[in-house]
Amino acid sequence: MAVASPSPSESVADHFARFGLAPRYAIDRDALESEYLRRAAQTHPDRFVGRPSGEQRAAMEAAAAINEGYRILRDPVQRAEYLCKLAGIDLDSSDPRGGAPHMSQAFLVEMIERREKVESARAEGASALQALRDQVEGEADETLDEAADALDDDDPNGAARLLVKRRYLQRLLDEIDGEH
């Protein structure tokens, strides 16, 4: 579907600026919430009925950007990953330059071994699997905390490595939960 380019004020602004927040990991969630509601009401399509189509489209694009920004900022993992993106590291990209950093061979070997352990824990029974799950989940949470610290220390590269590690741990959790 062809769409006109979004108005620069909405597309160029980063999501933190969009909600009047400083680009930091720690945010005021109440401020995010109330600003989201205010902006969402401002750009609601109902307000633009009968307006020129250009205005309607701009409002729609603004509303989409606000929704996307809210979805990203309210989620701690996505917020941390977004801060890396603002620093020029796109964790959704596999590009060696500017993409998600590659992990060490030792880490990948460990990940394979741990996933193999999921199979044996599953065979052992529900409590073994739950114990493994709790351990991995704790580790994933800890890794996110470390990434947040790195972001606070203005170390986006360190944060990106930790967030990639967390993604592997997340996939390990998905494996335990039987999701792909």
Partner 1 sequence: MAYSDKVIDHYENPRNVGSLDKSDDNVGTGIVGAPACGDVMKLQIRVEDGVITDAKFKTYGCGSAIASSSLVTEWVKGMKVEDAMEIQNSQIAEELSLPPVKIHCSVLAEDAIKAAIRDYQSRQAAEPADEEGAR
First and final C-alpha spacing in the chain: 30
- Report the C-alpha gap between 103 and 96 in whole angstroms: 12
Q: Is 18 in the site for partner 1 (CB under 8 A)?
A: no
Q: Smallest distance, Å, CB 136 to partner 1?
A: 12
**Angle formed by the axes of helices 126-152 and 156-176, nearest 10°:** 170
Indicate which single residue of 105, 123, 154, 178 sits in contact with partner 1 (rule: CB under 8 A).
Answer: 105
- Report the C-alpha gap between 159 and 146 in whole angstroms: 8
Indicate which single residue of 37, 109, 131, 153 sits in contact with partner 1 (rule: CB under 8 A).
Answer: 109
Q: Is 93 in the site for partner 1 (CB under 8 A)?
A: yes
Indicate which single residue of 116, 124, 134, 177 sits in contact with partner 1 (rule: CB under 8 A).
Answer: 116
Q: Is 59 in the site for partner 1 (CB under 8 A)?
A: no
- Report the C-alpha gap between 116 and 173 in whole angstroms: 13
The piece of 4-12, 110-118, 121-129, 131-139 that touches partner 1 (CB under 8 A) is 110-118
Task: Using DSSP, state whether 91 is helix, strand or coil.
Answer: coil
Q: Is 80 in the site for partner 1 (CB under 8 A)?
A: no
Contacts 24+ apart (CB under 8 A), 134-142: 136/169, 136/172, 136/173, 136/176, 137/173, 139/169, 140/166, 140/169, 140/170, 140/173
Q: Of 71 and 102, which CB lies nearer to partner 1 in the complex structure? A: 102
Q: Smallest distance, Å, CB 111 to partner 1?
A: 5
Indicate which single residue of 94, 97, 123, 126 sits in contact with partner 1 (rule: CB under 8 A).
Answer: 94
Residues, the chain:
180
Q: Smallest distance, Å, CB 169 to partner 1?
A: 8
The piece of 12-20, 42-50, 143-151, 167-175 that touches partner 1 (CB under 8 A) is 167-175
- The helix or strand, by DSSP H or E, that contains position 48, with its residue range, turns out to be none
Which residues are at the interface with partner 1 (CB under 8 A)?
Answer: 91-94, 99-103, 105, 107-109, 111-112, 115-116, 164, 167-172, 175, 180
